[in-house]
Amino acid sequence: MKILVTGSSGLVGSALVPALVKAGHTVCRLVRPGSVANHEAHDGFQVAWNPATGELGGAAVGADAVVNLAGVSIADGRWSDKRKSELHSSRIDTTRALITALAKMNARPSVLVSASATGIYGNRGDELLTEESQAGNDFLSGLAKDWEAEARKAEAMGIRVVLARFGIILARHGGALPQMMLPFRFFAGGKIGSGRQWMSWISLDDVIEVLRLAVEKAQIRGPLNVISPQPLQNAEFTKTLASAMHRPALFPAPAFALRLVLGEMADALLLSSQRVLPQALEKLGYNFQYPDLAAALKSIFKQNSER
């Protein structure tokens, strides 16, 4: 298949592109004007892409699938009004421009796999959440709802749409894990707040495999919780992480201190509870490579030591 990928330089995109190439697909990385290429020759090839104008390079013609991963990190900086606007535009405006570009194609892709997040469910305590659960009503919930709504517009063009709701993606070289590990390196790690909030996580290896299946399998459509079947409460998560790093977990981070430093972002990213289950993936019979956190961390640390 010929696959277009936005956000190819991010944590997920930089791992997905070579995996798709290895699987025998032709990959076109949609690159914005002024972007610096940092990919190897075997990581597909570049296609000019300007979200501001909707202009898409001619090499995109004939694409069979699109994977939309564009969006600036929600954790890089306190959520000022300006930052919230950037988070919104980098997802919703970019996805809108992409759908507009696809609409102009004579031969359109058969599938769009578009990123979303389990943040769509909001802070739900101990409630078990599936793809059928209602969305929340906080900033991240609204952001994800708007993002998914833009992607769903491709369905009117006869394109199969998959909404990949990512949880906390675990990888040694990026994402949340290196930040989580930092206090433990200095023997100062511990639970966050009460430690009772649920964390829905998944290994990067499983993310890549799920996205590949979402592209290839015609029966996959609609919301898809891309998370492990074993969510953990924060106290257990941090205890497992500490054990994997051979460190103690003795120093909890008080909620009031986190709110003081991070503001609204503390509640949304660190103190919010989301007990999400991968119901759709389990119905499909997906076999997780790392359903267990301890095994996932062991593999991640082993990969790093072998580099």
Per-residue pLDDT tens for 216-260? 999 999 999 999 999 999 999 999 999 999 999 988 888 877 787
Quick one: what percent of the chain has pLDDT higher than 90? 68
Q: pLDDT tens across 190-204, in order? A: 899 999 999 999 999
Reported in sequence order, the residue ranges of 10-110 that DSSP labels E, i.e. its strands, are 26-31, 45-50, 55-56, 65-68
Distance CA 150, CA 96 (A): 6
Residue spans per domain, the chain: 2-170+202-227+277-289
- Please say whether the beta carbons of 209 and 272 come within 8 A: no
Q: Which amino acid, residue 96?
A: R
Helix (H/G/I), strand (E/B), else coil: 197 = coil
Helix (H/G/I), strand (E/B), else coil: 147 = helix
Q: What is the CATH number of domain 2-170+202-227+277-289?
A: 3.40.50.720
Q: pLDDT tens across 72-89, in order? A: 888 777 888 898 899 999
CB within 8 Å of 115: residues ≥ 6 apart: 7, 12, 68, 69, 70, 71, 147, 164, 166
125 pLDDT more than 80: yes
Q: pLDDT tens across 274-294, in order? A: 999 999 999 999 999 999 999
